[in-house]
Amino acid sequence: MQQAQVHYNDAGTPVSDLFGDIYFSDNGGLDETDYVFLHKNQLPERWFTHPRPFFHIAETGFGTGLNFLLTWLRFRQYKAQSTTCQRLYFSSFEKYPFSKADLTKALAAWPQLAELTTLLAQSYPVALPGPHRMTFDEGSVVLDLWLGDVNELLPQVPEQNKVDAWFLDGFAPSKNPDMWQQNLFNQMFRLSHSGTTASTFTCAGFVRRGLNDAGFSARKTKGHGQKREMLIASAEQAAEFTPQLPDQITVIGAGVAGINAAFALWQKGLKVQLLCADAEAGMGASHNRQGAVYPNLHATYDLMSSLSCQSFLYARQFYACWLGKLEVAADWCGVLTLACNDNLVKRQHKIQQQPFALSGLFSPITKEQASQIAGLELPYDGLFFPTAGWLCPQDYCQQMAHWLSSQGVEILYSTQVHQITEHEHYCELETSAGTLHATTVVLATGAQLNALAQQESFPLRQIRGQVSHLQSQTMTPLKTVVCHQGYITPAHQQLHCVGATFDRSSGHSEVLAEDNQQNLDLVNQTLGQPDWFEDVEVMSAKAGLRATVPDHMPVLGKQKQLWRFGALGARGLTWAPLLAEVLACAIAKEPLPLTVQQLDSIDIQRYLRHSTAEQPL
């Protein structure tokens, strides 16, 4: 993506080199935002009487984020007075994003926004196309930054993401004619409902006519300060059916999928019950001591790569926020992926030719650089992800479960669900603790995701894996996670995790001595460190079953009253936070953080022969 190129005029206002126009007014930029976008959309007043638990604003042109930050500040002030509207969603579209450094520089002019600027900068994504969700103030403010051309992105916004107020910003139509197209106004109307409003600083006749032609009622009104006129608009659409939200959601499974699902649903204000066959959370595949968190990249920025990068960026901010509170072991020491065979050399070479290689998410490195980063001599070039790292999934699941239960989420351990019978308005769950009733059920049962329901199954595969926990006195301390055909982590409590085996033929999770040997042989042979494990001792090991489907994408979707969430393969820690958020938004009918195409790519419907078009995500 091309990033914003800016200089500053005499008044200190950022000016776009590309468009020759200012980002906000030289004279009272904040006042103008307050007047043109907030006041003229009747905000904050509307929040006090809003009929839904969330309010959705969409904006064309994120720029410096000034409009977003002021709206966030106003929402905070509103929330100190009322609880009518609990969450603010702010979707903004940006073709030429600021770098983080330029963004903080431009926003430094507003000391009253300093705290929010710092929070935004902490979560601000690298410049990769597509939607990027950021969550602030315990989930009460959600920013979706859609990177790309607004005219190309809007048709990819899910129908469910209806907007309550549009901030029609952008450079002046005369300086930026490509953005102000009829397609823009038509898409805005598609995503509007009865009562949606829009405002813009311009009073250009073709904008007013375009909004009217799309279906809005647009008219001129007094502009800000010296400006004589600006435009406001409102939409009338057929009356909408107000969705009935479930009274309670029953989530089955307390691995990273189920725990994140329970959290995201709870955060949307829904009542959640969590059932698990085990005596504690994180006892299935999510039981490891150290799990690597980094994206899965294909040679091109295809659906897998884009979704995986977006998930990684979301997971990083999510874990950064929660791991400190929960005191979970983690280290963002970076992940090094070595090009240790011909296929990986070719793939990494192709990746480096792609525009997304310039995003800053990772950098190509030579074997000398790899050796310096890892703290030991390595024989391969590779890619380095500086913000990636590892965390302890079992600690995370157990501590998050504990925290959720302190927030009122009912958790029933040692409760194996044997059968689910679906009735018209509820499900009957036969469990080891008796019969339970549920209106909405989420199966997050890992390798058992295909079991239990009466409906058509899908091609879920189980892949056994074992990680060995090694202790070595002679090894130089490893400074980063190193991935080759397997992986090795820096020591945590004197133990390195080395793994992992891939076995498609056995469906058990017993620890095997030959798998420990296989892990040792692989890391020794691939990395060529004969001394490393001279004195090595295998202190323990863990084995589990990964779940995956033929296209290796996750599975999320609904069959009648049953939702399924899983098939997270070998990247559960990276996928789980964002996809749990998708699941919660799908159930709570709140704005979804993915494109229509991305939603289709994970929807369980892709594997159902008798797919019912009525129930896509």
Ligand X SMILES: C[S@@+](CC[C@H](N)C(=O)[O-])C[C@H]1O[C@@H](n2cnc3c(N)ncnc32)[C@H](O)[C@@H]1O
Q: Which residues bind ligand FAD (CB under 6 A)?
A: 252-258, 275-278, 283-286, 288, 291-292, 416-417, 444-448, 452, 465-467, 499-500, 544, 546, 566, 568-574
Shortest distance (Å) from residue 18 CB to ligand X: 7
Contact between 91 and ligand X by CB under 6 A: the answer reads no
Provide the sign of the torsion angle of the four alpha carbons 307, 312, 317, 321, taken in this order. Answer: positive
Sequence-separated contacts (24+) of 534-540 with Cβ below 8 Å: 534/472, 534/474, 535/472, 535/473, 535/474, 536/470, 536/471, 536/472, 537/470, 537/471, 537/472, 538/468, 538/469, 538/470, 539/469, 539/470, 539/471, 539/495, 540/469, 540/495
Binding partner selected for residue 490 from ligand X, ligand FAD, none, CB under the kind-specific 5 to 8 Å limit: none
70 or 463: CB nearest ligand X: 70
Distance CA 80, CA 437 (A): 38
Q: Which residue is nearest to ligand X (CB)?
A: 61
37 or 263: CB nearest ligand X: 37
Distance CA 265, CA 316 (A): 19
Contact between 385 and ligand X by CB under 6 A: the answer reads no
Nearest to 125 by CA among 156, 151, 153, 94: 94
Shortest distance (Å) from residue 22 CB to ligand FAD: 44
Tell me what percent of the chain is helix, strand and coil, each rounded to the nearest 5. 35, 25, 40
Residue in 117, 123, 176, 516 binding ligand X, rule: CB under 6 A: 176
Per-residue CA distances from 462 to 88, 286, 293, 323, 459 (Å): 40, 14, 21, 29, 10
Shortest distance (Å) from residue 115 CB to ligand X: 17
| Contacts (Cβ under 8 Å, ≥6 apart) of 546 | 285, 447, 462, 463, 464, 465, 568, 569, 570, 572
Contact between 87 and ligand X by CB under 6 A: the answer reads no
Cis peptide before 111 (omega within 30 of 0): no
Region from 5-13, 56-64, 264-272, 383-391 binding ligand X, contact rule CB under 6 A: 56-64
Tell me if 224 sits within 8 A of 36, measured CB to CB: yes
Contact between 171 and ligand X by CB under 6 A: the answer reads yes
Tell me if 593 sits within 8 A of 583, measured CB to CB: no
Residue in 96, 312, 458, 607 binding ligand X, rule: CB under 6 A: 96
Per-residue CA distances from 12 to 6, 108, 331, 562 (Å): 11, 11, 40, 56
Contact between 64 and ligand X by CB under 6 A: the answer reads yes
Per-residue CA distances from 27 to 69, 104, 154, 229 (Å): 18, 20, 31, 17
Nearest to 393 by CA among 511, 579, 570, 583: 570
DSSP 53: S
Ranges of beta strands (E only) in 362-495 are 363-365, 382-385, 389-391, 410-412, 417-422, 427-431, 434-438, 440-443, 461-471, 481-483, 487-488
Residue in 38, 43, 57, 66 binding ligand X, rule: CB under 6 A: 66
Provide the sign of the torsion angle of the four alpha carbons 342, 343, 346, 347, taken in this order. Answer: negative
Binding partner selected for residue 96 from ligand X, ligand FAD, none, CB under the kind-specific 5 to 8 Å limit: ligand X
Residue in 36, 150, 251, 392 binding ligand X, rule: CB under 6 A: 150
Distance CA 541, CA 498 (A): 9
Shortest distance (Å) from residue 93 CB to ligand X: 5
Contact between 131 and ligand X by CB under 6 A: the answer reads no
Region from 92-100, 136-144, 317-325, 441-449 binding ligand X, contact rule CB under 6 A: 92-100
Shortest distance (Å) from residue 20 CB to ligand X: 12
Binding partner selected for residue 169 from ligand X, ligand FAD, none, CB under the kind-specific 5 to 8 Å limit: ligand X
In three-state secondary structure terms, 524 is: helix
Shortest distance (Å) from residue 498 CB to ligand FAD: 11
Q: Please name the amino acid found at residue 123.
A: S
Binding partner selected for residue 126 from ligand X, ligand FAD, none, CB under the kind-specific 5 to 8 Å limit: none
Tell me if 127 sits within 8 A of 1, measured CB to CB: yes
148 or 446: CB nearest ligand X: 148
Binding partner selected for residue 64 from ligand X, ligand FAD, none, CB under the kind-specific 5 to 8 Å limit: ligand X
Shortest distance (Å) from residue 527 CB to ligand FAD: 17
Binding partner selected for residue 416 from ligand X, ligand FAD, none, CB under the kind-specific 5 to 8 Å limit: ligand FAD
Residue in 44, 63, 210, 616 binding ligand X, rule: CB under 6 A: 63
Region from 91-99, 203-211, 297-305, 478-486 binding ligand X, contact rule CB under 6 A: 91-99
Which residue bears the tokens 């078009």?
613
| Contacts (Cβ under 8 Å, ≥6 apart) of 152 | none
Binding partner selected for residue 149 from ligand FAD, ligand X, none, CB under the kind-specific 5 to 8 Å limit: ligand X
Binding partner selected for residue 566 from ligand X, ligand FAD, none, CB under the kind-specific 5 to 8 Å limit: ligand FAD
Largest Cα span, the chain: 80
Distance CA 359, CA 350 (A): 15
Shortest distance (Å) from residue 234 CB to ligand X: 21
- Strand 562-566 and strand 496-499: the pairing is unpaired
Residue in 72, 89, 93, 319 binding ligand X, rule: CB under 6 A: 93
Count of residues engaged in binding ligand X, rule: CB under 6 A = 24
Shortest distance (Å) from residue 233 CB to ligand X: 18
| Phi, psi for 233 (deg, rounded to 5) | -150, 160
Shortest distance (Å) from residue 1 CB to ligand X: 11
Binding partner selected for residue 210 from ligand FAD, ligand X, none, CB under the kind-specific 5 to 8 Å limit: none
Contact between 390 and ligand X by CB under 6 A: the answer reads no
Region from 164-172, 248-256, 354-362, 379-387 binding ligand X, contact rule CB under 6 A: 164-172
Residue in 6, 23, 231, 251 binding ligand X, rule: CB under 6 A: 23
Binding partner selected for residue 286 from ligand FAD, ligand X, none, CB under the kind-specific 5 to 8 Å limit: ligand FAD
Shortest distance (Å) from residue 63 CB to ligand X: 3
Nearest to 59 by CA among 42, 36, 78, 84: 36
61 or 284: CB nearest ligand FAD: 284
Contact between 546 and ligand X by CB under 6 A: the answer reads no
Distance CA 454, CA 555 (A): 18
Region from 110-118, 147-155, 491-499, 527-535 binding ligand X, contact rule CB under 6 A: 147-155
Shortest distance (Å) from residue 287 CB to ligand FAD: 7
Q: Which residues contact ligand X (rule: CB under 6 A)?
A: 4, 23-24, 59, 61-67, 93-96, 149-151, 169-171, 176, 178-179
